[in-house]
Amino acid sequence: MTAPDQPEISQPSPEETALPVPLLYRDAMMLVIDKPAGLPVHRGPQAKRRVIPVLTDHLDALRFGLPRKPEAAHRLDKDTSGCLVLGRHPRAMAELNQMFRDGRIDKTYWAICEGGPAEDQGLIDLALGKQSPERGWWMKPDPAGLPAQTRYRVLGRGRGAAGPLCWLALEPLTGRTHQLRVHCAASGFPILGDEIYGSAGRDAGPGLQLHASSVVVPLYRKRPPIRVEAPPPAHMEAALSACGWLPKP
């Protein structure tokens, strides 16, 4: 089975091939890159303790003639791959930030989960709060926390070495930290390879199986929304194939 929103992959130009990260889209206002799994967007506490690459180290190569480096307009976890939107100048950043705050930018993620939901589509409505001050960004279901909603759709089901798997399309309707990972785990189908909320300690596999597959940005009033898609990363292909995904020729 091939999902209807599987990305069309165009051939990059020589200029784009030399970039430190794959470029999916560029215009005068924004860039969309395909962030590799394992690359932090910012130099947070973990990156400061150890000398590891972060996306901000490479932003100068993404100026394309503008005097300023672009900036990330939203977040992706270090181990999540896929579409990341960057604003190219202050006015663009202000517009993109407002659009994300207003929920006008649609994001779809692909996830491979252990087990899976009984229904083929639904809504996870579960407020989230921090686990504790000592745990930093780690989150937990919390009735007194911030509202959080995720729409899900089953794209395929299969089996892995450790049991049943499910390929989900996840649409976050809110933007809480670790929302998709906590929502899936709390619903009984943790994302494969999740070291915090899943069973990665028992079966770590090739890494977190969560990918920002597409983003839709209505950036220009007189033009159709910009839809950008990122192909799944290599470390997810085996599990996706087990759930019925077929790569395009």
Return all residues near 111 (Cβ < 8 A) that are at least 6 apart: 167, 168, 170, 180, 184, 191, 192, 209, 210, 211
Give long-range contacts, CB 8 A cutoff, 24+ apart: 99-107. 99/217, 99/218, 99/219, 100/73, 100/74, 100/175, 103/173, 103/174, 104/218, 105/74, 105/215, 105/216, 105/217, 105/218, 106/171, 106/215, 106/216, 107/83, 107/171, 107/172, 107/212, 107/214, 107/215, 107/216
Return all residues near 137 (Cβ < 8 A) that are at least 6 apart: 130, 177, 178
CA 224 to CA 204: how far, in whole Å?
41
* Catalytic position from the list 5, 34, 60, 77: 77
Q: Residue written as tokens 């999902």?
A: 3
Q: Residue written as tokens 């967007």?
A: 41
Residue 5 falls in the annotated catalytic set: no
Cβ-contact 197, 113 below 8 angstroms: no
Catalytic residue annotation: 77
